[in-house]
Amino acid sequence: MGRKHTKEELLRAALETALDEGLSQLSYGRVARRLAIPDRTVVYYFPTKLDLIGEVIGAMGTQLMGRLIGAFREPSRDHRELAARAWPVLASPEADRIFALFFEANGLAAVGRDPYRTLVPQLVAGWITWAAEHLEGEPERRRREAETAIAMIDGLLLLRLLAGAESADRAARALGIA
């Protein structure tokens, strides 16, 4: 009898496959080859491609939240303070791989490609809600500040991936968050 694989193992393999090859190249076959198992095993745990991609995108978000939680021990006063706490954690080569996938998913969502056009807005809404929980003030103000912080951070991270770390760090200093 062959070795049994857990859903967690398959999800880790799917995330690594996406990190290595991109979300657009993620497939049952590629995940199965990574683990040297039949495609059917992957399909058993992720019955649809939407399930597979959704779980990978969720795992990306969980990894990032795990990295950030230490920076958000106390609520931030505003978007600038929140971004300043997040920037040193997110501006790293380890996070670059995840953000490359995130921005790939954003592009696929922007051109209306399924399942990204549904999943990515949900992911962004979740990030806004999560970031708002780490800000001081009334709910409406916290949400507005969270949206602003995420816009700043995402812009800087995209600049980091496309123009390089030095360019993004200069921009972060100009914004007063680095």
pLDDT digits (tens, 9 = 90+) for 109-166: 999 998 999 999 999 999 999 999 999 999 999 999 999 999 999 999 999 999 999 9
Band (3; pLDDT cuts 50, 70, 90): low
Question: What are the φ/ψ torsions at residue 139 (nearest 5 degrees)?
Answer: -55, -45
Give the number of other CB atoms < 10 A from CB of residue 157: 22
Band (1; pLDDT cuts 50, 70, 90): very low
Question: What 3-state DSSP class applies to 91?
Answer: coil
Whole-number pLDDT of residue 2: 56
Kindly state the percentage of the chain with pLDDT values over 70.
98
pLDDT digits (tens, 9 = 90+) for 76-114: 999 999 999 999 999 999 899 999 999 999 999 999 998
pLDDT digits (tens, 9 = 90+) for 24-49: 999 999 999 999 999 999 999 999 99
Q: What share of the chain is helix, strand, coil (3-state, %, to 5)?
A: 80, 0, 20
DSSP 25: G
Q: How many CA atoms lie within 13 A of 145 on its CB side?
A: 22
Query: To the nearest whole number, what is the mean pLDDT of the chain?
Result: 94
